[in-house]
Structure 1
């Protein structure tokens, strides 16, 4: 299984009304994603005021959902810990609570590390050796973290829509920008490289998931 923990960055700096508005927006967004996702085993659930989590049965929708959350909540930023591992309790199909196991421990440990480093993404896998390909994957994600922190909402929305398979012409129409602007954002933000990188990381995640399931 794959556990994801998301954490709103610096949410305590928001005003009380700002936090309330963000909370309501997050609840609506996570509910929508949970209804639409076909790969969720346990839906996105807000566990603390600033945190939420979910369990995926496979990797197919993970990055699509992550980019959607980032795009919809911008300018508020979110950090994500992804953990491939064992869950020793029954899967709760209604809420991502009341479950336990190494996958949750690793995700919790990773999110705490991200809070200290300032990076937005981290991935762990049960059985991965130190210095493995996973270390390279995390280094790549940390570089990506620094790059996207300066992005405007439009660029996040472009990545979100590209992940949904929309053509450039339709993306331009939906965002009310020119096709040239879409292509320029793709180039200036190295979006195609980022999407290729996350795709390669997904392949790696699948390998760890298959090894875990066959062991």
Structure 2
């Protein structure tokens, strides 16, 4: 299929990540998709600054090496300590959920920094971590997938391919499936979701199954688990 062809092509592309030396970090760069075409652009930018500089920095303060900062009206960057790289995907999901329906693309890069990071603001510092993240943002803009990792590891393309397949499944979800999944993630119980929506538990179970909810959840857990095992503080 076309999806498998794209994955096979992507598996040959991971030769651009810069090598690591010295202390390493996990850089995250995000960019709002087609920001100039957004009608209420000013309001979106205000919300963007609030989500990035207030919500993210507050929620993940203990893991951040350089505070997440809106560098342009439609772009942000931030730096995690390498051992907390496994939180990168969770942070991206947190941002996406809070910015919905506005879409973003993300690049994640792991590597060293040539200029020591400023803990208070994620600008005026540079190095391979940011270079790798920037390359992945450019790649993510090609929509293959909207979240791309560049760690210098041979597993990078496996991660990116897995994310791509997850996105293909997610993009096929109906509004009803998304509603059920959102409630299930909040309530943690099929019975509670069924009671709230006044449907049977069997209906909730069927909708979750048809949406590939458990397969997507398992894939996310594997990505996070891999990053934690490889880069986590042992």
Residue correspondence of structure 1 range 99-138 to structure 2 within 5 A? 99-117=125-143, 119-126=145-152, 128=153, 132-138=154-160
SS at match of 1:85: strand
Alpha carbons of structure 1 residues 188 and 75: separation in structure 2 relative to 1, 3 Å: farther
Q: Which runs of 5+ in 1 are unaligned?
A: none
Computing the radius of gyration over CA atoms, which structure comes out larger, 1 or 2?
2
The match for 1:8 is 32
- Aligned-pair CA distance for 1:167: 2.6
Alignment root-mean-square deviation, CA: 3.2
User: Does 1:75 pair with 2:101?
Assistant: yes
Q: Does 2:159 correspond to 1:155?
A: no
* Displacement after TM superposition at 1:168 (Å): 3.0
| CA-CA distance at 1:154 after TM superposition | 8.0
Contact 1:3 1:107 in 2 (8 A): yes
Given the two structures, how large is their TM-score scaled by the length of structure 2? 0.72
* Whole-Å separation in 2 of the counterparts to 1:171 and 1:67: 24
Residue 195 of structure 1 aligns to a residue whose secondary structure is helix
Give the Cα separation in 2 of the matches to 1:137 and 1:187: 23
Describe the shift of the 1:69–1:186 C-alpha distance in structure 2 as closer, same or farther (beyond 3 A).
Answer: farther
Q: Which residue of structure 1 aligns with residue 11 of structure 2?
A: none
Structure 2: gaps of 5 or more residues: 1-24
How many angstroms apart in 2 are the aligned matches of 1:134 and 1:73?
A: 26
- For the residues of structure 1 that align with 2:162 and 2:109, how far apart are their CA atoms? 16
- Report the CA distance between 1:160 and its aligned residue: 10
For 1:141, what is the secondary structure of its paired residue? helix
Q: Deviations over 1:152-208 (max 9, x none)?
A: 59838956984xx863379859xx656857655543332332232122222333455
TM value normalised by structure 1: 0.78
